[in-house]
Structure 1
Amino acid sequence: MAQRPIVRILREPDARARIKGQKARFPKGISSADQARRHNSKFERIESSIGRVLAGADLKNSPAEVAPDRALVFEVIGPLSTVTKFIQAARETGFDWLGEDFDLTQHEDEDDEGNIAAADDGEGVDADQSVLYVTMPSINGLQKIVALWKRFTRREPKPSGPDGEWWDLFKYLSDVRPWSAKDRVDPALDRYVERMVRQQPDKPIRLELDLWYRSDPKLRANAQTYVEALLKVIDGKLLDFATIEPIHYQAALVEIPIAQAEMLSSVAGPIAEADGVMRVRPQSFYETTTMDGDVTLSSDEIAGAVARHKPAVAALLDGYPVENHVHLSGRLDVQEVDVAAASVPVARRRHGTSMASLIVHGDLGLPGGAIDRPLKVVPILAAPQNMTVECTPPGVLPIKMVYRAVTALMEGIDGKSAQGEGVVIINHSICDREAPYARKPTYWAKLLDYLSHEYRLLFVVSAGNCYEPFAVDTYADVAAFQNADPIERQVAILRCVENAKGKRVILSPAESMNSLTVGAVHDDQAGACPPGLAEPYDKVSGVPNLSSSVGLGINRAIKPDLVEAGGRQLVRVNLKNGAMSAWAFEHQDVGQLTAIPDPAGLRDDRTGRSTGTSNAAALVTRAAIRMAGVAEDLFEEINQSWVDSQTRAVVLKALVAHGCHWGQTGELLHGLYPGHWQKKREAVSRAIGYGRADYDRIVTAEGNRITLLADDLIGRDESHQYKLPIPRAMIANREIRRITMTLAWSSPIDPITNRYRGVMVELVDAKGKRKFWDGLEGITDANGSKIPTGPVATATRRGTLQHLALQGKKLIRAAGTGEIIVGVQARVDLAAFADEKVPYALAVTLEMAQPVRQDLNADVAARVRLKRIEVPARPRTRVRT
């Protein structure tokens, strides 16, 4: 029997380490006398407003006034510790805490010695950075804050308890004001309204109203009535309404007259001044793109139905598929929740059919065998009669549909039992074209993060596609571009795309922290570029295709996490007013080959080509299903069920990402992008994340490498240690050695704070620092420059996936204890999750560049097995070899 390529390892029992850190230094704040001169007039207006309310005045039409049910904003300059403590103080004073806005990434939590900075009082923001707080005060709360301000400006001693926290906030107060129309109206709304009026000049405009999520259930229950009354004033219409409590989401989809929408564009009108509305923004919407043309495969290339001896582990949230297509018949299990078959004509079921085909078979142009499990499908795209493409139903909030779809799978809905027993992977190749990520997580991303942690799910999410033109500054005219040397043109396009990255960012919910976000690589099995057209890139460089959106994610976390083949896209250019622009487009002769519906509805064997990040996400979902089989086998060896494990999703996440590497693509982009090495690496990670995965490296055994896998639950200030035997073949030679470590975990979230992530987990060495084996100092190229292997280490700790590739060839004559210590260390980012234990999985591969006489797999596996006898297992620890 062949040696198993993955070996389970055991952590050291009861290994714990308190996390040490240094406190950041901040100014002591502004004196009470100076603050009085700056802000007394603002508090006098608040006091005047209180008096007018108590006297019976209605301040609803006075936006500058402060009144109950009107959000109050505190702008603060100072340490983040002040903010953290103030939240609780505000609540105890009678303020309904609604949200905050600041940038955590100005402070990097690592000193020059690789120590880990404290997560509580030690973290903060620069002294010149504004922090925004939003609360909803009661009359008593407003009266109390005025009284506290007067005591502060009289230089009274700081009181004990929650009232004292106001003293710290007052020291750093920059402004206090009501939430205004300028805060309420999304800056992108004017362009959206202009586009909608141009496309449909006779139709009302659809918008979404995000409401303040109130802690009082009675206030939440009255929110829909409030929206209906508001719409009645402007002759609007309520289309949909949703409340999702775990992510503090309450929103309405509305339809309003064009005149009212144009007033909103000017930050005016009844909705702009509606105190109960937090944000007015474009309707969340997704629609597919299509290509004409198709090709039919011969019958001997069509695979038969799946043998259902293995249960489904994956679900697809997408369009309604053609269930009886020859490539899909007997392989799909469709569960209707909000979209019924009767509402989606078979001839228009393109996207869901294509995604299902890619998950089941991969690119049909590259035979790789079908998955041996059924695929569950919950349709969430419709095909309205007045549109030519599939889209999220125009009259429904998409986030509500996703929530109901996942709930139907996990718990059951509308009186039905759970339909997704055993499902761990959910493919989510749907995004909001109106919501490019802009620093703050969207509600859609918050929903996926909540659901993934709550139900132990792995969402595979597409990064989104951008077909907007970008500037090309290299060529004088179209002919020069078309006739340019392909390599020179490729370099020019890559540079221009990088310059335009600010307008090509990932689309909601791609910033989701717990999900795997996938970008698309310019690669497929189609033939050559059609004559007369231009292909932007070659197939061997592995660069993202021309429409693949770029990161970063929440608090500058690595996004996309990885990239996969997404089909080749061609490029068009245009010269207008002396400026040349270019954009991606799809052509029927290139792209990935998938099952598609027959436009005439007569045949069941049509295939066609498509491209994009949806395709790439489908292929990663297919790989995750493959890794599920590996995980099942490892757990079954000791009679445990992987699908019932609390670590099931993070085990898959680690295995899928573990084969990622930058390789020649990283070197190419790193050499092309401008700036110092850190900026270069950030630019590369924006484009390709941790790189493209080689899944065969994980599931196939080779004598020159071995992969070790561990999983467990970890809590606050715990450090789990793993002892990895150093392969004897790595000692006393100068061959390139490589250690790849992948740590995946799932974190709870706080949906109203910018810290957002509840628990941080990271890789450390035996001393709790971020330094590993000195034999892995890196490899240099012919010019003496270090070859980049991945993102900057600091950036890898910002999300919930850390992937490090360490390599070197320094001569190691002695190996000390003969072991490498790898630690997994946790800390709490938010006090609310102090008692939370989160699941994690760790994959480590030890590798030599060339095959060696001694089999690394056999050498290390045997010594790991011996370690099982020497170290007693903790109750939660599993060992699989």
Structure 2
Amino acid sequence: MTEAVGPGRPVLWGRVRPPTPVISTARNSPKVDVPGGGRQGERLDSRFEALERAFGDQINFVASLSASDPELVVVFEGLDERVDLTNVAENLGFEILSEVETESEPDPDFPRRSKDQSLPVPGCIHAVCLNRSAMDELLRYWAEWKRSERLPHGYTPLRELFAHLKDVRPWGPLDRMRATDWSEYLAGLLPDTQHEIEIELWYRFSPALRDRAERDIATVIAADGGSVLSAVRVDEVGFHGMKALVPTETLSALARGDHDAVDVVKSTHVMYVRASSQSFLISESASDAGEPDPSLSAGPPVLCVLDGVPVTNHPLLADRLVVHDPDDLAGASSTGQRKHGTAMASVAVWGDLSTPTAPASRPVLVRPILAPNPATRDGTEELRRDELAPDLMRRVFRELFDGDGTGGPVGESIVVVSLSVGDPGAPFDGVMSAWARTLDWLSSLYGVVVVVSAGNHVRLPVAGGATSVADLTGPERAGAVNRAVAEAFPRRSLLAPADAINAVTVGALSQDAAGDVPPGPYRFDPGADSQIVNPVSALGSGHRRSIKPDLVAPGGRTYYRTPLEGDDALVPATSAGLGPGIKVAAADGHSLVFTSGTSPAAAMVAREAAELVDVLWQIADEPLSRAAIAAATKALLTHGARVPEDLLVDDRIGAHAHGYGELSRILSRGCAANEATIICAGTIGANEQRVVAVPLPSGLQQTGIKRLTATLAWLSPVNWRHRQYRRAALSFAKPTGLTELGTALDVQADASKRGTVQHAVWEVNRAVPYGRGDEFELTVQCREQAGGLNGAPVDFAVAISLWVAPELEVDVYQEIREQLEARVGVGVRT
């Protein structure tokens, strides 16, 4: 039973049983013991005193600008607490700006109530805005609680917060600066001109307060010699942002850390100030494209690429792209500047051109969102100077699925959106980025799969000097590079919008099909012929330590410059025309180049997602909604993933680097005879469960390896105001009715239930006491959180595979297929 995978054995369509109610038995028991009032006073009195000083500084700052009344944003970080401060906020007169669930490393003052003290501790971060009166009341209640550990009736949440308080501090300039490397950003800009910065404001509940914040910040920007380009609000995700032009001197002050010289980073209105920039790795020109495959794409597109403007007359792309450019970004770029957009369109159509493959069967829709930035030295493709990502995403998705008000939707057939763009100024730090929140809202609203690149971190610091790595060879060098990546974690976190929970986030393997490419002088291969994750690839985890990136894919090998004595970091070398990397169409309109990083890796996954959409349309026994196809596509993408056995990764980062693994099984190509993959799609409501039953083949009573894989995926609505954020929490337990499966392989069980994908693999090597005529069952449950689902159902999909070792000669596919066909007309699918 060794027949290869083939289209004659496509993924099978299954059914889910009707929903039944389920009673939640979840209980929240204390995880830690808390210190008393005396110890909390010792720990935190100085921090509350710092709040008073910070408020005084804010009074002076506001007075100097003749601006609005002074306020202070205060951050409370609690361990093992889930208090609701709503009533306390009303009583004290402060505004809750943000609440985020977190997980922290253990703290000796908060010992865990378990033997394993190394486990992370859940908690919550509350950001609140206080005026002078609220500040005075807060300090009075703090003093009262320290003395008696009691507070008046109605203030129990504040009492609990004080008891569990790990830290309290003002939101200051360093918070507002996010993690932008201002020195590096400044180095890539043209001098003696003005440059754009992005300012994210705290989203205030009152429109009047939002108006006041805009006016105050406009005044601050003008006083520093700048001007406001745009201001937008996306109420659905709580985003309030501004783009502004500022003098080079302002950026120089930020690079020096001279915050006193830049008033915008001192304003209480401001949540973040960051630079919007991109970092793409593209080689010199290689060879000419040659003669393309003569077969042309047909039918409506199912994949939309959001990127730069592509060169549409390249022989490899001609008649294979549909470009929708309502902002006329083509008019802002010459042909030779369209590097990234052309490269990503090329991957979406062809994959890696070093590997002979057929082109995409359908045209690819490209909606340009990037244009060359004239203020950068190399004309880097970025968002327009006046554009803010959340507002742009809202506009683009409405164009695709609703129309722009003057015409109908341009992307009704689109199911997959590819976004190989990230914001280096917004690395994930536990707080969901506004860009990610927007994608989560839009993907759930319109029912689409969004594939996002994890982001690239170009510079790799090396403790002990960079030459210590380059001097090594073989696996020792690969291990040293991996150690450097692990030691730099978490400063190499996901770049927005890769933190989106509904998105499929893709990291990059140091892998391509370019063959043996000698590094030559002044370059070296960091992997040294070992299989590693590309060192530029951003690392997870995601929201509440969920698995991120979801997947990794070939992102090309990135060679590094041979460091000089005294260098403390490794930096990628300019890739030569012979590679290595992912081979793509070039912006000159006729030749080929190489690129590497998470951008082509994400485009590779998006390409496979589009192929899966076609498979689903072919195998479904009735028309499906876009959301159902999207959920099923997302499930099948992850279902084919496994962590490569030969992948070298540092134990300290593990799944943070590779997620669920690479696409070891390309399910759009079908199944082998000794396996069967079944996909089911449906909807589920709060406190409901649905059962997927899979028939078994004969021949399982033999001793030998049987592998069972299950993947659950859904698109969750979100509530940006709520600390839990995700409204729909779906999960499955271990399947029943086959045999005792033991512990799942490859994944962290808890982390795999915190996003919108759950994936598990089990293997047994014993005889199974069941066979044809029997079935095993997997039960999916849904519980609501973050304010609930309000009666709305959630689209979900489950993919299940049974694989039997070929030497057992079990025709798994045919036997399961026959039994499924016999059930047609029985049961409920949606």
Q: Same fold (TM over 0.5)?
A: yes
Q: 1:25 to 1:340 in 2, by over 3 A?
A: closer
Distance, in Å, in 2 between the alignment partners of 1:410 and 1:840 is 21
Confirm or deny that 1:799 pairs with 2:755.
yes
Task: Report the CA distance between 1:742 and its aligned residue.
Answer: 0.9
Counterpart of 2:710 in structure 1: which amino acid? M
1:735 aligns with 2:704: yes
Partner of 1:73: 74
* 1:409 aligned to which of 386, 396, 400: 400
* Structure 2: distance between partners of 1:133 and 1:321: 44
1:465 shift after superposition: 2.1
Residue 186 of structure 2 contacts residue 252 of structure 2 at CA under 8 Å; is this kept in 1? no
Question: Which residue of 2 is the match for residue 650 of structure 1?
Answer: 631
Alignment of 1:594-609 (within 5 A): 594-598=584-588, 604-609=589-594
CA contact (8 A) 1:573 1:580 kept: no
Please say if residues 478 and 575 of structure 1, whose CA atoms lie closer than 8 Å, have aligned partners that are also in contact: no
1:186-265 matched pairs, under 5 angstroms: 186=177, 188=179, 191-192=181-182, 196=186, 200-204=190-194, 206-261=196-251, 265=257
Amino acid at match of 1:757: R
1:15 corresponds to:
20
Post-superposition shift, 1:112?
14
Determine the C-alpha separation between the residues in 1 that align with 2:47 and 2:315.
71
**Aligned residue number for residue 860 of structure 1:** 816
Q: Does 1:526 align with 2:527?
A: no
RMSD of the alignment, in Å? 4.1
Q: In the alignment, does 2:660 pair up with 1:690?
A: yes
Distance change >3 Å, CA 650–CA 68, structure 1 → 2: farther
2:277 corresponds, among 265, 285, 305, to 285
In structure 2, the residue matched to 1:726 is 696
Displacement of 1:244 after TM fit?
Answer: 1.2
Structure 2 counterparts to residues 301-312 of structure 1, below 5 A? 301-307=292-298, 310-312=299-301
User: Residue 3 of structure 2 corresponds to which residue in structure 1?
Assistant: none
Within 1, Cα distance between the matches of 2:202 and 2:786?
22
**Structure 1 residue aligned with 2:741:** 776
**Which whole-Å CA distance do the structure 2 matches of 1:536 and 1:164 have between them?**
55
The aligned residue for residue 494 of structure 2 is 506
Q: CA deviation at 1:181?
A: 3.2
1:585-618 per-residue CA deviation (whole Å, 9 max, x = no partner) reads 52321222222222xxxxx432222222111111
User: How far apart are 1:705 and its partner, in Å?
Assistant: 0.8
Q: Deviations over 1:141-172 (max 9, x none)?
A: 77987898899799899777x65544544555
Secondary structure in structure 2 of the residue aligned to 1:268 = helix
Deviations 1:536-582 (A, max 9, x none): 4366x653234222222222221211111222322332142387856
Give yes or no for contact 2:507–2:601 (8 Å, CA) kept in 1. Answer: yes
Residue of structure 2 aligned with 1:586, choices 551, 563, 575: 575
Q: 1:135 aligns with which of 128, 137, 149?
A: 128
CA distance in 1, matches of 2:333, 2:681: 43
User: Match for 2:276: what amino acid?
Assistant: S
Residues 507, 598 of structure 2: 8 Å contact kept: yes
Does the 8 Å CA contact 2:718/2:727 hold for their aligned counterparts?
Answer: yes
What is the alpha-carbon distance in structure 2 between the residues aligned to residue 694 and residue 39 of structure 1? 51
Change (3 A) 1:344 1:707: same
Identify which of 426, 436, 452 aligns with 2:443: 452
Matched residues, number: 805
Pairs within 5 Å for 1:462-611: 462-471=453-462, 480-481=471-472, 484=473, 486-530=474-518, 532=520, 534-537=524-527, 542-577=531-566, 581=570, 583=572, 585-590=574-579, 591-598=581-588, 604-611=589-596
Letter in 2 for 1:348: Q
Separation in 2, partners of 1:532, 1:45? 56
Measured in 2, the distance between the counterparts of 1:58 and 1:567 equals 53
Which residue number in structure 1 is paired with residue 603 of structure 2? 618
Measured at CA, do residues 246 and 105 of structure 1 come closer, stay the same or move farther in structure 2, by a change above 3 Å? farther
> Contact 1:740–1:844 (CA<8 Å) still a contact in 2?
yes
Q: CA deviation at 1:495?
A: 4.1
User: Is the contact made by 1:445 and 1:508 (CA closer than 8 Å) also made in structure 2?
Assistant: yes
Q: Secondary structure at the match of 1:448?
A: helix
The CA distance in 2 between the partners of 1:150 and 1:549, in whole Å, is: 44
Spell out, residue by residue over 1:282-311, the C-alpha distance to the aligned partner (whole angstroms, 9 max, x if none): 212225343222311333x3435433xx21
| CA drift at 1:69 | 6.1
Q: Secondary structure at the match of 1:296?
A: coil
Q: Counterparts of 1:137 and 1:764 in 2: how far apart (Å)?
A: 45
Please list, as runs of the form range in 1=range in 2, the aligned pairs for 1:327-342 lying within 5 A after superposition: 327-342=316-331
1:758 matches 2:727: yes
- 8 Å CA contact retained: 2:469, 2:477: no
2-structure distance, mates of 1:42, 1:365: 58
Q: Shift of residue 706 of structure 1?
A: 0.9
Equivalent of 1:435, from 414, 420, 426?
426
Mapped to 2, the partners of 1:34 and 1:372 lie a distance apart of 67
Instruction: Say yes or no: does 1:359 pair with 2:348.
Output: yes
Structure 1 contact 73–132 (Cα < 8 Å) conserved: no
Aligned ranges 1:317-396 → 2 under 5 Å: 317-385=306-374, 387-393=377-383, 395-396=385-386
Distance, in Å, in 2 between the alignment partners of 1:259 and 1:175 is 35
Do the aligned partners of residues 153 and 607 (structure 1) sit closer, same or farther apart at CA in structure 2, a change above 3 Å counting?
closer
CA contact (8 A) 1:563 1:691 kept: yes
CA distance in 1, matches of 2:569, 2:396: 44
User: 1:746: which partner in 2?
Assistant: 715
Q: SS at the partner of 2:259?
A: coil
Contact in 2 for aligned 1:530/1:589 (Cα 8 Å): no
1:297 equivalent in alignment to 2:289: yes
Q: Which amino acid aligns with 2:538?
A: S
For 1:421, the aligned partner's letter is E
Contact 2:456–2:537, Cα closer than 8 Å, also in 1: yes
Q: State how far apart, in whole Å, the 1-side matches of 2:36 and 2:810 are.
A: 71
CA distance in 1, matches of 2:139, 2:486: 50
Q: What secondary structure does 2:493 align onto?
A: coil
Contact 1:320 1:379 in 2 (8 A): yes
- Secondary structure of 2:192's match? coil
Aligned to 1:461: 452
Residue 858 of structure 1 aligns to a residue whose secondary structure is helix
Q: Please report the TM-score for the alignment, with normalisation by the length of structure 2.
A: 0.86
- Asked whether the 8 Å contact 1:321–1:349 carries over to 2, the reply is yes
Q: Which residue number in structure 2 is paired with residue 711 of structure 1?
A: 681
Q: Deviations over 1:324-353 (max 9, x none)?
A: 222222222211133432211112212111
Structure 2 gap ranges (5+): 1-5, 107-111
Cα distance in structure 2, aligned partners of 1:700 and 1:624: 14
Compute the displacement of 1:501 (Å): 3.9
Change (3 A) 1:487 1:131: closer
SS of residue paired to 2:382: coil
SS at 2:645 equivalent: helix
Write the distance in 2 (CA, Å) between the matches of 1:857 and 1:203. Answer: 65
Match of residue 117 from structure 1: none
Unaligned runs of 5+ in 1: 114-123, 599-603, 779-787
* 1:822 aligned counterpart, secondary structure: strand
Q: Which of 652, 670, 674 is residue 700 of structure 1 equivalent to?
A: 670
Partner of 1:827: 783
* Corresponding residue for residue 109 of structure 2: none
Contact 2:31 2:113 in 1 (8 A): no
What is the deviation of 1:493?
3.6
Tell me the amino acid that sits aligned with residue 507 of structure 1: L
Residue in 2 that maps onto 1:118: none
